[in-house]
Structure 1
Amino acid sequence: MDITFLGTASAHPSPTRGVSGTVVKSDGEAWLVDCGEGTQIQLMKSSVKPGRITKIFITHLHGDHSFGLPGLLCTLNTAFLDPDREGSIMEIYGPQGLRKYVRVSLELSRSEMSYSYVVHELQVPDTDHPHDWESWKPSHEAEGSLHPNEKAGRNITMNADGIYNLHEDDRHIIQAAPLTHRVPCFGYVFLEKPQPGRLDAEMLRSRGIPPGPLYARIKAGQEIEAPDGSVITPQDVVGPTRPGRKIVILGDTKESSRIIPIAMNADVLVHEATVADELHDICIERGHSTPAMAGQFAAQIQCKHLVISHFSQRYSPLSRQCKEGDETVQKLLDQTRATFPGGKVTAAEDLMTISVPARK
């Protein structure tokens, strides 16, 4: 598994940094978390193959996390012409209102695609629907007929534990939980299921079995027969099952306690650190986190690797040549490390890829 950061800025893109867009890659698939303005351009600059994207997860509907989605969906037309993608459906997950946003954007621009899409909406209680302007309370319901390329999506409700179960297959489980921001917002957890132990190929060769289909059978838990007629069991040549990896990516947040139960012991946590600690009060007022808050949350869930992102444009990227006196992301990085002592901390940069090693 690995994570590629397409954009790491808050609010709006700049010549040196794109806005939120993060790709998780696992087993040949790519899942995009957030799609701010210009994400499709960042995607073309990256090592991510657009045709690998099968699911898109939107944390919330602020523009720096969603304005790039209609354009990206149209750009992916070419990717879906690949015979390997024929008949497949792009699955999109996000808060109430996302279905309306996508449908209206595509309808009013008269956009048609070469593939189908579906929007699954995460339902939130009315109390979680704050509004920046009390006199303006827009409807979140998607009305009218489906777009020609749209399939009917699910309305997903949280379970008794306050968790949204989004997807499960043979290899992965994907869940979400609410965060506290100015609008309904979510964090997503990508969990790899326990992995088979390592195969002792040398032992198999010593028993007269060359590499081939029998290796796959015994690793899948089946007994096989050696040339001398003896039976070889999985326990003889396959090591103990290894725990799967866990990646946690949070949207904008000033308080994240509701995701803690499913975020514990993450291999990688991606957490915003929008402005420096001394701007704490205004940061909280706007629904965001400081570096200290990111470090404290990482320590609370006992994650292995904290990656901070979603930086205010007042902080220049580490890789950029700056004028003397300019503030850089190094300041945010130092403040984060102060509250996550002994933990690994990285400041994300556009087009950076982080590998998530298998657990032992």
Structure 2
Amino acid sequence: MKKIGFLSFGHWSDAPYSQTRSASDALLQAIELAVAAEELGADGAYFRVHHFAQQHSSPFPLLAAIGARTSRIEIGTGVIDMRYENPLYTAEDAGAADLIAGRRLQLGISRGSPEQVVDGWRYFGFEPREGTTDADMAREHTETLLATLEGEGFARPHPRPMFPNPPGLLRVEPHSEGLRERIWWGSGSDATAQWAARLGMNLQSSTLKDDESGEPLHVQQRKQIEAYREAWRAAGHQRSPRVSVSRSIFPIVSDLDDMYFGDAGDSEDKVGYLDANTRAVFGRSYAGEPDVLVKRLAEDEAIAAADTLLLTVPNQLGVDYNAHILESVLTHVAPELGWR
């Protein structure tokens, strides 16, 4: 059994045939797709965060709105770029969204990805400490966020406060009990997966990662998951961790499916560079008739190793079509593979 959800980048544009022509379209349709996914029996609605782009960028209003419209489905991110985040403000926003959703938030965070602008985090008021990198800064922000979510007081109360304080040091509010255990780290390498395990974060592995062995993506991800779980055991955590992988999966069960994705069935992993020094492997898309998909997906070692599968959706094709994709996977593929 696996949890199956969707992951949306929330693109919008006024290109021909786009169903999401504005930011308003992208946000409102994201809420409607989450509602539809819950009705179909999916387990999660997750959203990517990119700054300075015509995509989702401020997740907490969206997560709170979905939380108010749904009752069961997990609501999350995959991922928030922690280089841009004030960790105390993030803790407040996340706590509020989690309480609105009835403690269903699954918060994916990370160092982030290649950006639309040069050093965009500087415009948000953040600079790495001297002698450190922006990746170091993201991990420092993350460790502060995790400590804040523990809920322990750390701020000295004012001797003449506007409102009465409880005794002792103060914490940021609202605090949502249990959210600390629902933080995920989006990892692009084996080393950062092991770091996440030591800190007690769940693991998100995307459709790309650092190419550390030249093997297919799914093999490298399976080894990454194994390294993560070994580091988790070594750290002595008392709970079981969760692991997700993302995939583009398109069952072809109609002429419209064939028109959109019929040519994607023969795709393969691709290798490229995220920056001048980082060679990465990008995962293939899976498209085909359900029986063909079942055979191909059964060979994906990372999906087999993970407990959660996030389906990347082409959100600009509209709510109805994306709900159709989810229903097709849940109905025609998942039962045959023992995921349902």
Return the TM-score normalized by structure 2: 0.36
Rg comparison, structure with higher value: 1
Return the TM-score normalized by structure 1: 0.35
Task: Report the structure, 1 or 2, having the larger strand content.
Answer: 1
Task: Report the structure, 1 or 2, having the larger helix content.
Answer: 2
Q: Which structure's relative contact order is higher, taking Cα pairs within 8 Å and 6+ residues apart?
A: 2
